[in-house]
Structure 1
Amino acid sequence: MTFLPLSPPGETPRRVLTIAGSDSGGGAGIQADLRTFAMLGVHGLVAVTAVTVQNSLGVKGFHEIPLDVIAGQIEAVASDIGLQAAKTGMLASSEIIDTIADTWVGQGLAGSVPLVVDPVCASMHGDPLLHPSAVKSLREQLLPLATLVTPNLDEVRLLVGIDVVDAGTQRAAAEALHALGPRWALVKGGHLRSSPHSPDLLFDGTEFYEFDSPRIDTGHDHGAGDTLAAAVAAALAHGYSVPDAVAFGKNWVTECLRAAYPLGHGHGPVSPLFRLRA
């Protein structure tokens, strides 16, 4: 695949902010985001929203970061270092979501910095990572600020109440998601088991864009959603259009799935470390 351009040594690279939770097992969350950022040659900035207690078998618990600390992290990096794109992951509560939305607008980032919202609601093991009361804030406060929203099929069902089972329902879901306010909506098809491939569908309110890739047969796919959103954000930071950024991210996560490795006694992570051999 074609990678993003690397900045020359000594030159400041593009900066991308992840607003997400920490994964103590290192498979997902900000750890996965920073691995992809590093392998794609962008400088990762971090606003930690929660600290999880988890391993390859699941999430044992999490602790939310105080709201003023979350806002302060965003303000600190935006006012001094600057950023060319951002993505969100685990946001945990309505109060955290409202704080992020208010800070994003207050710092003048809305409309000027691309924002990829990965609406993380549960871990791959089904452990909840978002309080039920927070879904309303996600719909009403954050999605209208998003350049792109990237839910999996479980998250689609939670956000718009549509059970995606085929191409028709995938289109209906993309339309319903777009109606919530993001500029673009991507309905990921990795969990669409009726297809032998992994079909993703992007919608801008007028036109549909289809992205397909072979389904990688692996039980080690922890952090795939985070990795896709991080790669898309990195591409947007380099000035890619949204369709081109999604195509890049789709290719990137497919290669990371090919390189996935076992870890612990459960699900291992997707791996961007394949680029070290490229």
Structure 2
Amino acid sequence: MSLEKVALTIAGSDSGGGAGVQIDLKTFNAIGVFGASVITSLTTQNTLGVQGIYDCPSEFVERQLESVFSDLNVLFTKTGMLSSNEIITTVVDRLKFEVSRNLKGIVVDPVMRSKHGSPLLKEDAIDNVIRNLIPITYIMTPNIPEAELLTGIRIKSLRDMEKAANEIHKMGTKIVVVKGGHLEGDYAIDLVYDGNQITMLKEKKAFNGDVHGTGCCFSASITAYLTKGESPINAIRKAKKFVSKSIKRGVYIGNGFRVLKTY
């Protein structure tokens, strides 16, 4: 029996539906990939902000991972919100094992804060990300604030993005995409570095304001396109265009930030 290829998201739940596991699964579906999920944290959240966070016990995270990997044909996975040392260690240990079996690659969105500024990663867990998660990563997708926290480099220009990408690549990821949407200007320029070559991806900003869930959607898009058989650079290019289109189609569902429309 031929099994359908599956993309997996390992991330937090957003009760408002605009980010986290919810936008990941919407993205997988829109791109045409079957999506599975492992929920690491539950957030009470809407377009106005994050009102509360409940971290799933690490034992229950492991049980979810076991259920998915023991049965489904997962080729690529992404990680989003991994808020604590216990959850990071549980996920890393399992993914190391799965990479030795059928898993082809891990896309890491190093979620640290929500769009509203609420902390989603405990400060004492950042070192765990650097020491243990990044070394098993296939593609890493930090935005500028995340890249600054990981490297200690203040990023104000494309040259600064290059320096940060080089430092993050040294931490062990095969490919790093430093997202430049936080820089001023009419264009969102992302820097892709694979250890040998720098590629700049430029797209006119689709909306001049904050949009909820863009980072989650970008990493989920890359994961989906990889699952469909695209090369890393093509997956990243297509993901950037997919997010841009989803921003253009964006809507207001509440009284806060605009949200993506993936369909």
8 Å contact from structure 1 (residues 21, 50) kept in 2: yes
Residue of structure 1 equivalent to 2:253: 263
> Letter of the aligned partner of 2:226 in structure 1?
L
CA deviations 1:206-232 (Å, max 9, x no partner) are 110110100122435100000010010
What 5-or-longer segments of structure 2 have no aligned partner?
none
Find the aligned partners of 1:160 and 1:68 in 2 and give their Cα distance. Answer: 31
Contact 2:76-2:103 within 8 A present in 1 as well: no
Change (3 A) 1:54 1:169: same
Q: Is 1:216–1:257's contact at 8 Å kept on the other side of the alignment?
A: yes
Q: Report the secondary structure of 2:230's partner residue.
A: coil
More strand by share: 2
1:132 and 2:155 equivalent? no
State the Cα distance separating 1:181 from its structure 2 match. Answer: 0.5
Unpaired segments ≥5 residues, structure 1: 1-10, 274-278
Once the two structures are superposed, residues 51-102 of structure 1 have per-residue CA deviations (whole angstroms, 9 ceiling, x without a partner) of 0011111111100001111112112111111201110111111111111001
Query: Which TM-score applies when normalising by structure 1?
Result: 0.91
Shift of 1:121: 0.2
- Asked whether 1:174 is paired with 2:165, we answer yes
Distance 1:201 1:34, change over 3 A: same
Residue 245 (str. 1) matches residue 235 (str. 2): yes
Distance 1:196 1:175 in 2: 25
In structure 1, give the amino acid aligned to 2:252: P
Contact 2:4 2:73 in 1 (8 A): no
Match in the other structure for 1:4:
none
Q: Please, which moves more after superposition, 78-87 or 115-124? A: 78-87
TM-score, with normalisation over the residues of structure 2?
A: 0.96
- TM-superposed deviation, 1:196: 2.1
Pair 1:14 & 2:5 matched: yes
Partner residue, 1:3: none
Contact 1:118-1:151 at 8 Å conserved across structures: yes
**2:224 is matched with which residue?**
234
- The alpha-carbon distance between structure 1 residues 220 and 196, as it changes in their structure 2 partners (threshold 3 A), is closer
**Which runs of structure 2 are paired with 1:148-159 in the superposition (5 Å)?**
148-159=139-150
The DSSP-based 3-state class of the residue aligned with 1:199 is strand
Distance in 1 of aligned mates of 2:57 and 2:256: 31
Shift in alpha-carbon separation, 1:103–1:117, aligned structure 2, 3 A: same
Q: Paired residue for 1:6?
A: none
CA–CA distance in 2 between the matches of 1:102 and 1:143? 13
Counterpart of 1:44?
Answer: 35
Counterpart of 1:133 in 2: which secondary structure?
A: helix
Render the CA deviation track for 1:223-246: whole Å, top value 9, x for unaligned. Answer: 000001001001111221111110
Cα RMSD of the aligned pairs, angstroms, is 1.4
Q: In the alignment, does 2:214 pair up with 1:224?
A: yes
Distance 1:108 1:213, change over 3 A: closer
Aligned partners of 2:101, 2:131: CA distance in 1, in Å?
15
- The 1-side partners of 2:121 and 2:24 are apart by 19
Q: Percent identity?
A: 37
1:41 counterpart letter in structure 2: G
SS in 2 for 1:201: strand
